[in-house]
Chain A
Amino acid sequence: MRTLVWLLVVGLIALLGIALSQLGALDPLKNGALTVVSPLERGLRAAASPAADFLDNVTDRQDLEDENRLLRQQIEELTAEIAHLKESQFTAADLAELAEVEESRPDDQFLVASVIARDPSNLKERLAIDRGSSDGVSEGMVVMSEGGSLVGVVSKVLDDFAWVTLITDPNSNVNAMVLESRAQGVVSGSLHDGLSMDLIPQDAEVEPGNTVATSGLGGNFPQALLIGQVAAVRGEQQDVFKKAEVEPAASLSRLENVLVLTSFTATHLVSP
């Protein structure tokens, strides 16, 4: 009987806590807790990182890992540059359109943030960064990797910290296009299956190795922000849409620092 009463009381308090959290009433408490534990989290992450690297590359030597990491970063930077160049090539034909793009993207301004934690729940793909509303971060801001590719969107902001929903989160959808064919679609996250690009018109030419970038449709993301490369294309001839597996350009599982794009404001379109 005593156990039952305890279960009921604690359960009710937990529900009350959930309700208060949804109202944002516990945000100062969360901010305070993160302020206290973030140095410890950093230390634990730093301590665990070599073990995680070791398990990932049991047979690899450290120098190969470093070289691999450097090359990956260079590839990501070059691919991001190519994505911008390709976009410029396509849009140069239409100066009016280019002018619009430039107007919508004035000089990009970034805020460097360190990743302090990842969501451990298995059901969400989110990470915490050490920048919050006091640094000018607000919900909906776009987050990029150091190499310049898309990482995700700020989904929750506290005073000194913020949570970023990664593009691989099951609830993430990004309007995208294949730069080579201009085919448009939606890049979505999933549970442990990485990224996929859906709703690609059946007649669009999409091949493995093609570059996928944001299309800018919907106003939530700037145009031509590198997402990744097409790894495989799925779908039968009779299907209405094609589906492509996309390999993210950024190494999302090992991010240490990210860039918050503070100069871009998401536009929330309202239907007429």
Chain B
Amino acid sequence: MRHLLFVPLILFVALAQVATAPYFPLLGVTANPLLVLLVCWAMVRGPTETMVLIPLAGAFKDLITTDPVGVSVLALLPIVALTTIRERRPTESEFLPTLAVVAVASLSYGLLYMMVLTAVGDGPPWLQSPTRVLLPAALFNALLTPIFYLPVRWATTLSEMVRPSMRVPG
């Protein structure tokens, strides 16, 4: 339950994203730091904690934007499914799969978001969006990944050092 102490941090990232991300565009799009942080969190610490953080962060973000409440929660849900790749350990490195999951989660976020907006009659142009928004946003989010991955990794390592693991070595 100690991870709940980080809820204010997650909410702050959501708020900072809404307040400042539009002022730092790259490739014509803005980043989604909340998504990147949640993916890094899930890949480093496992998806269980993220299952609590996603509804809180998503609902909070929707409350302070023009989006219907629930659309971000829905769009962030695939993170939990995608981070099951962590258990298969496809590479020695934990970082490369995180990069891949960030990119794929960004695409699925965009697609689900567009589907909901279209369903509520506020749909964006579907033909232009994949090349002009979804792919650049996925790339931008992937570029942001080290900024969030490293602190989450270090914080996790630090907390494991403070509280020795119960696992038996070897």
Chain A residues within 8 Å of B, Cβ to Cβ: 3, 6-7, 10-11, 13-18, 20-22, 26, 29-30, 33-34, 37, 40-41, 44-45, 47-49, 51-52, 55, 117-124, 126, 128, 155-156, 163, 170-171, 190-192, 253
CB distance from A155 to the nearest CB of B (A): 8
CB pair A124 B128 closer than 8 Å? no
Residue pairs across A and B with CB atoms within 8 Å: the count is: 148
B97 interface residue, CB < 8 Å from A?
no
Residues of chain B within 8 A of A3, CB atoms compared: 47, 51, 80-81, 84
Flag whether B10 is at the interface (Cβ < 8 A). no
The 9 nearest A-B residue pairs measured at CB: A17-B70, A21-B68, A14-B70, A33-B63, A52-B23, A48-B20, A44-B19, A118-B22, A123-B124
A191 and B28 CA atoms in complex are apart in Å by 9
For B117, list chain A residues within 8 Å (CB).
123-124
Is A170 within 8 A of B66, CB to CB? no
Binding site for A on B (CB under 8 A): 15-24, 28-30, 32, 47, 51, 54-55, 58-60, 62-71, 73-74, 77, 80-81, 84, 110, 113-114, 116-117, 120, 122, 124-125, 128-129, 132-133, 137
Say yes or no: A30-B30 contact (C-beta < 8 A), given A14-B74, A191-B125: no
Name the distance in Å between A123's Cβ and chain B's nearest Cβ: 4
**How far apart sit A43 and B138, CA to CA, in the bound complex (Å)?**
28
Out of B70, B124, B133, name the residue touching A21 (CB < 8 Å).
B70
**Contacts of A155 on B, CB cut-off 8 Å?**
66
